[in-house]
Amino acid sequence: MAKKNTKEKIFDSSIDLFSQYGYTNTSIRQIAKEVGIKESSIYNHYQSKEAILESILNYYISEMLKEEAPIMQSNDNLDLGFEYFYKQGSDRFLSKLSEERMMKITRIFLVGSYHNEKMKAFVKEGIIDYAIKGWEELFNLMKEKEIIRKDANSKQLAESFYSYGIFLLYEHFIFNYPEDDEKFLKDFERRTTDHMKIIFNSVKINNEESKIDNNKNNPSSNHDKENKELETEIMRLEEEKDYKKVENLVRDAFWNIYRPGAYEHFIVYNLREDPSFIKDLAYIIEEDDEIIGHINYSKGNLNLYKKNNQGMEKINDWNEEAVVLGPIAINPKYQNQGYGFRLIKHTLRLAKNKNIPYVFVIGDENYYNRFGFESASKYNLFLEGTDTSEENPFFMIRIFKDLFKDKDYDRGIFYNPKVFNVSQDDVDKFDENFEYKQKRVQEGQLE
């Protein structure tokens, strides 16, 4: 086994201490003492105790999402029967949860959610909201496949199903702590399976019921209408009628953030007519008929190079096409409410199903780590124009199929689609089509 470096020791010791004493009651001094280093040495690896916590939470999400759950391939797996489908997902979840480190982290954020805003948001958005949304999509699919009744409320089913599992986690990690973990995992599997059967049996239909339902003159009953009114959030592909609204949304989301004004809305406009644009990954989120979120993917180029006596030589037997995520924009009024999280997760699933081997993104590592992104420089891949002699944490890659491990290369350079290169004059001219907004120089801007 490889010897742990100092950062890994800090990470592991923090998990041990946070799970035993709580995040709030653990100090940097205690962590340093546990690792066997000076307190000041911690800051060579993490800026703060909060940065350690964020790293731990991101690790948890990335581990849980390493192997996509069967719910992500639900269209095919449901054809094998709901019980089979459920067991596949349950086995995967419990296998990962049973790892000692994951059990400790689960206790950290469940206990911490009572006292710490970051952990409260993590539990709500990353653990509860995302899962319920996934199960809601699943139950909608089950209605389409005539596995459950069409008048069933998918959101209520998802909440009823998932909330029981959350209750059992809190029961074990808080109310019954310390309790034998192995016993808990067996009980968890049995109790959630029994609960699933109760819910499923309450709404499942047989073939005769399906035939009767299909022969009704008015399949949209009053109950259906009530359900649709409750399910107000819609995620769908962008359509031509959305273009102007999307451009306004992107403009508002980026205005004065990275530079005075913005040019991302101009990139979105240009992308639609560019060969690099991946149209079937351009999604929006609507809430009560208002577009509040949008995401794009496009194709750039990745060149691989091998050192020789003359310097770096380009490797020719390599598919240069590479997918990049962005821009992604959420209406400022709806930010930090999980909409971006759901957009990214949904479209990454689709990208994987399209056999896209990997996706690049440029952004905050602490945010994108939760989706399985990692520093591209780990694979000696760099963004055009950046320093290749050091790590670039803001340039990340999400690998679905590792094409690099058996490839003999020394360096890779990613080039964004040419349409990303815009002039300020062109942006200003395009902006004449929009309502006037004042440009401001603000702290933290890149330009």
Question: Average pLDDT for residues 116-123, to the nearest whole number?
Answer: 91
Whole-model pTM: value is 0.55
Which of 200, 228, 256 is a domain's end point? 228
In this structure, the number of other CB atoms found within 10 A of the CB of residue 6 comes to 14
Using DSSP's 3-state secondary structure scheme, residue 20 falls into helix
Is residue 169 domain-shared with residue 118, that is, in the same domain?
Answer: yes
Residue 415 and residue 281 share a domain: yes
Same domain for 345 and 426, yes or no, is: yes
- What is the average per-residue pLDDT within 302-316? 90
Q: 204 and 268: one domain?
A: no
Examine the domain organization and report whether 260 and 135 are in the same domain: no
Nearest to 355 by CA among 403, 302, 290, 292: 403
Return d(Cα 130, Cα 61) in angstroms, integer. 11
pLDDT at residue 75, as a whole number: 55
| Same-domain status, 178 and 303 | no
Both 184 and 314 in one domain: the answer is no
CA–CA dist 89, 381 (Å, integer)? 34
pLDDT of residue 316: 83
Question: What confidence tens digit (pLDDT) does each residue in 8-21 have?
Answer: 999 999 999 999 99
Short-list 328, 390, 329, CA closest to 359: 328
Phi and psi dihedrals of 67, rounded to 5?
-105, 115
Residue 188 lies in a domain: yes
13 belongs to a structural domain = no
Residue 49 lies in a domain: no
Query: Which of 94, 105, 69 shows the shortest CA–CA distance to 186?
Result: 94
Domain tally, the chain: 2
- For the chain, the straight-line distance linking the first and the last C-alpha, in angstroms and rounded, comes to 45
Whether 443 is covered by a domain: the verdict is no
Same-domain check for residues 204 and 252: no
Residue 321 lies in a domain: yes
* Amino acid (one-letter) located at 140: N
| Per-residue model confidence as pLDDT tens digits over 234-265 | 889 999 999 999 999 999 999 999 899 999 99
- CATH number for the domain that contains residue 198: 1.10.357.10
Determine how many CB atoms are found less than 10 A away from the CB of residue 201: 8
Same domain for 352 and 410? yes
Q: Which of 228, 255, 280 is the last residue of a domain?
A: 228
Tell me whether residue 48 is in a domain.
Answer: no
Do 416 and 329 share a structural domain?
yes
63-106 pLDDT, tens digit each:
887 654 444 455 556 666 677 677 777 877 888 888 899 999 99
Predicted confidence band of residue 146 (pLDDT cuts 50, 70, 90): confident
Mean per-residue pLDDT over the chain, rounded: 86
Question: 302: closest CA among 326, 318, 313?
Answer: 318
Q: Provide the CATH number for the domain around residue 333.
A: 3.40.630.30
Domain shared by 94 and 219, yes or no:
yes
* Residue 18 in domain: no
Name the β-bridge partners of 353.
none
**pLDDT, average across residues 400-416:** 91
- Based on the fold, state whether residues 160 and 298 are members of the same structural domain: no
Measured distance CA(128)–CA(162) in Å, rounded: 8
Rg of the chain over Cα atoms, rounded to whole angstroms, equals 24
What is the identity of the amino acid at 314?
A: K
> 133 lies in which domain range?
67-228
Q: Has residue 316 been placed in a domain?
A: yes
**In the prediction, which pLDDT does 206 show?**
59
Considering 161, 196, 228, which residue would you say is the last residue of a domain? 228
Q: Distances in Å between the alpha carbon of 283 and those of 167, 279, 368?
A: 33, 9, 18
Q: Using one digit for the tens of pLDDT, what is the confidence trace for 338-349?
A: 889 889 989 998
What is the secondary structure of 124-183 as a DSSP string? IIIIIIHHHHHHHHHHHHHHHTTSB-TTS-HHHHHHHHHHHHHHHHHIIIIIS-S--HHH
Angstrom distance (rounded) from CA 426 to CA 298: 21
Those residues whose C-beta lies under 8 Å from the C-beta of residue 275, and which sit 6 or more positions away, are 299
Q: What is the DSSP letter of 318?
A: S
